[in-house]
Amino acid sequence: MTEVSPGLENVYIKYTALTYIDGNKGIMRYRGYDINELAEKSSFEEVSYLMLFGELPDESELQNFKNQINKNLKLPDYMKNILKELPEKADSLGILQTVLSARSSVESNYKYSEKNDMEIIPEILGNVLSIVANIYRLKSGRDIIDPVPDKNYASTFLRACFDKIDDDKINAMDSALILYMDHEIPASTTSALVTASTLSDMYSSLVSAIAALRGPLHGGAAEGAYKQFLEIKTPENVEPWFNKNIIDDKKRLIGLGHRVYRTYDPRLTSFKKYADKLSTAPDQKNILEIAKRLEALGVKTFSPKGIYTNTDFYSGIVFNAIGFPVDMFTTLFGLSRVSGILAHIIEYVEKQERLIRPRAIYNGYDRRDYKK
């Protein structure tokens, strides 16, 4: 009998050599390399290259890749005009989606080929850095700029966002970009694959992914987790807040639980390290203490069901300590995810291409006579 799988749960649509996840043991690897080791020892450009082209780059491959990205930091005027014209209150991720959509509208005759990938990937990575940095600049009341190439992607990005930035924050941003780069095929990447499987262009595929990422069931958990900490206000209020909201009102604790993991999310190791290191101001220490107490209570209560902390519990603390407000968190997630999504598109379209076209089982009326 044909069965429906709501949410495509347990449906496999591709092979992948990109990200390996063992949800029971809490293991995550990119092309065989441990995720926390990559976050510590590599840069975003190196890991993007690994994901997109199969191996870590040698020095000249890396330099060439960086140069190609840096050539694309200056946005065309029409993108800058759209950034300026959208209302101040526009959603950050929605702005990214809109500007990428404008870029897709001027894409003509795009054909998938390895040659095109090499041209379009650095263009996308350079453009997206600049779009996200300028979204933040405009939202914080400053002018649009052309980012100036710095030592790596993370430092170019942060220097475009902030007047002052230190190495610890750059390293934390670089690690966050790597840790969020890919996670097999969640809803956003799957949306990109559906679009790419029609042989639409890369920008349109990316727009589909960003549109799916916007939903609160997907990209918004770091924001949700951080808002809980703000609502709790003091470490002493953690237990009463938990008992009222999570135990009595049966709300879900945001930042806990995952469809794949039945233990701690492996990306937490790095995020916790940076949360500890960067939370130096009194208000940041207060938030971190709230988070730690809340995590302890949550894990004690829900671990018997296999519910543990996920990466979004601490990533917002890191983004905030770098200097970003809560409404930028999901957009930073989007910035990190672009290379992973592109790598999946290439892997699917160039190696396993088949139009993604599932079926639905009809359960409506039988034939009816037409009457006015």
Question: In the complex, what is the shortest distance from the CB of residue 256 to ligand ACO, in angstroms, rounded to a whole number?
Answer: 4
Give the nearer residue to ligand ACO in terms of CB position, either 151 or 251: 251
Interface segment toward ligand ACO; rule CB under 6 A; list 34-42, 91-99, 229-237, 304-312: 304-312
Stretch that binds ligand ACO, among 72-80, 233-241, 271-279, 310-318 (CB under 6 A): 310-318
* Total of residues contacting ligand ACO (CB under 6 A): 15
Which range touches ligand ACO (CB under 6 A), out of 166-174, 282-290, 308-316, 352-360?
308-316
Catalytically annotated residue among 117, 183, 258, 265: 258
Q: Report the length, in residues, of the chain.
A: 372
Binding letters toward ligand ACO, positions 243-262, x by CB under 6 A: ---------xxxxxxxx---
Question: Applying CB under 6 A, which of residues 42, 171, 204, 310 lies at the interface with ligand ACO?
Answer: 310
Q: Does 307 interact with ligand ACO (rule: CB under 6 A)?
A: yes
Report how far residue 230's alpha carbon sits from residue 155's, in angstroms, rounded to the nearest whole number: 28
- 46 vs 100: CA distance, rounded Å: 24
Shortest Å, Cβ 245 to ligand ACO: 10
Q: Are the CB atoms for 169 and 158 separated by under 8 Å? A: yes
Query: Nearer to ligand ACO by C-beta: 172 or 294?
Result: 294
Residues within window 111-130 making contact with ligand ACO, judged by CB under 6 A: none
Which residues sit opposite 21 in a β-bridge?
28
Residue with the CB atom nearest ligand ACO in the bound state? 257
Q: Under a CB-based contact definition with an 8 Å cutoff, are residues 62 and 49 in contact? A: yes
Q: Would you give the binding string for ligand ACO spanning residues 192-221, x where CB under 6 A is met? A: -----------------------------x
Q: Are 202 and 196 in contact (CB under 8 A)?
A: yes
Tokens encoding 326: 């809560």
Which of 305, 359, 368, 371 is close enough to bind ligand ACO by CB under 6 A?
305
Candidates 134, 269, 311, 336: give the one binding ligand ACO (CB under 6 A).
311
Smallest distance from ligand ACO to CB 312, Å:
5
- The piece of 92-100, 112-120, 124-132, 301-309 that touches ligand ACO (CB under 6 A) is 301-309
Q: How far is the CB of 357 from ligand ACO (least distance, A)?
A: 26
Asked if 218 contacts 212 with a C-beta cutoff of 8 angstroms, the reply is yes
In the range 24-53, which residues lie near ligand ACO by CB under 6 A?
none
Shortest distance in whole angstroms from residue 238 CB to ligand ACO: 15
Q: Is 146 left (phi over 0), alpha (psi -120 to 50) or beta?
A: beta
**Min CB(279)–ligand ACO separation in Å:** 20
CB of 359 to ligand ACO, least distance (A): 24
Is residue 183 part of the annotated active site? The answer reads no
Spell out the long-range contacts of 195-202 with Cβ–Cβ below 8 A and sequence spacing 24 or more.
196/345, 196/348, 196/349, 197/348, 197/349, 197/353, 197/354, 197/355, 197/356, 198/355, 199/111, 199/112, 199/349, 199/353, 201/104, 201/107, 201/110, 202/110, 202/120, 202/124, 202/342, 202/345
**Site pattern 259..278 for ligand ACO (x: CB under 6 A):** x-------------------
Distance CA(245)–CA(266), nearest Å, equals: 27
Give the active site residues.
258, 312
Residues that bind ligand ACO (CB under 6 A): 221, 252-259, 302, 305, 307, 310-312
